[in-house]
């Protein structure tokens, strides 16, 4: 997936992303200095800054974290021909799947079940249909025909994935995309990698955000959510201490110039989701925030609170097409 405005995420950091080693590891003669990396993870804009008294050690830690990113991209990338995901889509099955690949698919299946199928990693046939339709010169602005949509939709259904420790298999004609959950998984993996190496305060951005501890100066990590149609405006500023956040917005990747057809699909209809302009979810992990924001974006509006609660999310910020913002949380929703 391309970076920047072609992505479905619109989170931006309000403040400086920084990470520190535990205070017991600091050399009093050397104040911590920032060491920053910026790049991409699964095609998403990503960045990481470590505040560390030893710049060389900080650089080595970042290099190790990026090694984890590269390793996981070889599993989850839709665009690498040598990835485990590409092999599954090409061959229809994958023998002896890597542990993380199986784990992520199991988490995806759980979110599919609790969301009533609103989250579904098998929507790739729909993506391919719309992308190929609008790539043609003189494409019908009304989109693919109902018959073609129906045909693609017949190949969508999370129950068609057969999972076992030794094999993953797809029903004939199916294909999987992990773009609605894998960036969160990689964000969690990098956060865990840093924590295991003594980093106690960090805000990781590997396409999604997850905070570890508080800011090095003691204040909370704050994340600003820009309005997708007006990036100069913030929908909210979130306190992310020990939490993760993800935003899903159809405007992020549109197939047509008018933005009527985008990459967030309602599996039940085969059409682009239209319930919300954007959905931001705060959850204990980035994997969960990523998947729940996608599920809520693709579900009917009256199911947002139920999906958030069932999935273990903490709060959701829902932007309607009328530009009104609704907040849902486990603390302010009726049982």
Domain count, the chain: 1
Answer yes or no: is 145 within a domain: yes
pLDDT, residue 325, reads 86
Answer yes or no: is 136 within a domain: yes
pLDDT, residue 331, reads 54
Answer yes or no: is 39 within a domain: no
**Higher pLDDT pick, 224 / 259:** 224
The DSSP bridge pattern shows strands 315-319 and 325-329 to be antiparallel
Nearest to 186 by CA among 1, 324, 333, 34: 1
**Higher pLDDT pick, 89 / 218:** 89
- Helix, strand or coil for residue 243? coil
Instruction: Report residue 1's pLDDT band, with 50, 70 and 90 as the boundaries.
Output: very low
Cα dihedral 207→125→123→76 (10° resolution): -40
Answer yes or no: is 192 within a domain: no
pTM above 0.75, yes or no: yes
Dump pLDDT digits (tens) for 165-222.
999 999 999 999 999 999 999 999 999 999 999 998 889 999 999 998 888 788 888 8
Q: What CATH number should be reported for the domain holding residue 90?
A: 1.10.3980.10
Q: What are phi and psi of 109, to 5 degrees?
A: -65, -40
Dump pLDDT digits (tens) for 68-81.
999 999 999 999 99
pLDDT, residue 252, reads 67
Supply the mean pLDDT for the chain: 87
Dump pLDDT digits (tens) for 92-140.
999 999 999 999 999 999 999 999 999 999 999 999 999 999 999 999 9
Say if residue 60 is exposed, middle or buried (CB neighbours under 10 Å; 0-12, 13-18, 19+). Answer: middle
Give residue 123's domain range.
84-170
Instruction: Report residue 249's pLDDT band, with 50, 70 and 90 as the boundaries.
Output: confident
Answer yes or no: is 333 within a domain: no
What residue numbers does the annotated binding site for Mg(2+) cover? Answer: 180, 290, 294
Answer yes or no: is 222 within a domain: no
What residue numbers does the annotated binding site cover? Answer: 180, 290, 294
Does residue 29 carry a pLDDT above 70? no
Does residue 227 carry a pLDDT above 80? no
Answer yes or no: is 283 within a domain: no
Instruction: Report residue 250's pLDDT band, with 50, 70 and 90 as the boundaries.
Output: confident
The residues pairing with 316 across neighbouring beta strands, listed in sequence order, are 281, 328
Instruction: Report residue 270's pLDDT band, with 50, 70 and 90 as the boundaries.
Output: very high
Name, in order, each residue with C-beta under 8 angstroms of 43's C-beta and a sequence gap of 6 or more.
1, 2, 3, 7, 79
Q: Compute the average pLDDT of residues 41-63.
A: 90
Answer yes or no: is 94 within a domain: yes
The residues pairing with 170 across neighbouring beta strands, listed in sequence order, are 161
Name, in order, each residue with C-beta under 8 angstroms of 320's C-beta and a sequence gap of 6 or more.
276, 277, 326
Does residue 26 carry a pLDDT above 80? no
């Amino acid at each position: 997936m391309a970076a920047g405005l072609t992505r479905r995420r619109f989170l931006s950091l309000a403040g400086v992303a920084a990470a520190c080693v535990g205070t017991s590891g600091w050399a009093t003669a050397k104040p911590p200095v920032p060491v920053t990396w910026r790049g991409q993870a699964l095609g998403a804009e990503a960045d990481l800054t470590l505040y560390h008294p030893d710049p060389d050690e900080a650089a080595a830690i970042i290099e190790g974290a990026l090694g984890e990113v590269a390793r996981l991209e070889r599993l989850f990338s839709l665009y690498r021909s040598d990835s485990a995901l590409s092999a599954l889509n090409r061959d229809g099955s994958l023998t002896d799947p890597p542990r993380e690949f199986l784990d992520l698919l199991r988490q995806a299946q759980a979110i599919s079940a609790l969301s009533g199928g609103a989250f579904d990693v098998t929507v790739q046939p729909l993506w391919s249909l719309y992308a190929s339709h609008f790539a043609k010169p003189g494409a019908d602005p009304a989109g693919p025909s109902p018959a073609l949509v129906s045909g693609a939709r017949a190949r969508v259904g999370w129950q068609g994935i057969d999972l076992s420790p030794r094999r993953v298999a797809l029903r004939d004609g199916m294909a999987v995309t992990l773009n609605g959950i894998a960036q969160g998984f990689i964000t969690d993996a990098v956060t865990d990698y840093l924590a295991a190496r003594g980093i106690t305060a960090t805000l990781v951005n590997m396409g999604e955000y997850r905070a570890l501890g508080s800011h090095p100066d003691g204040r909370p990590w704050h994340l600003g959510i820009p309005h997708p149609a007006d990036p100069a405006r913030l929908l909210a500023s979130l306190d992310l201490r020990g939490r993760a956040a993800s935003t899903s917005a159809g405007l992020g990747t549109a197939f047509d110039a008018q933005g009527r057809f985008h990459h967030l699909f309602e599996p039940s209809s085969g059409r682009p989701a239209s319930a919300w302009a954007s959905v931001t979810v705060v959850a204990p992990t980035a994997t969960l925030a990523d998947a729940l924001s996608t599920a809520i974006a693709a579900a009917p509006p009256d199911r947002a609170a139920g999906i958030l609660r069932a999935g273990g999310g903490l709060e959701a910020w829902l932007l309607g097409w009328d530009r009104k913002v609704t907040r849902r949380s486990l603390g302010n929703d009726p049982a």
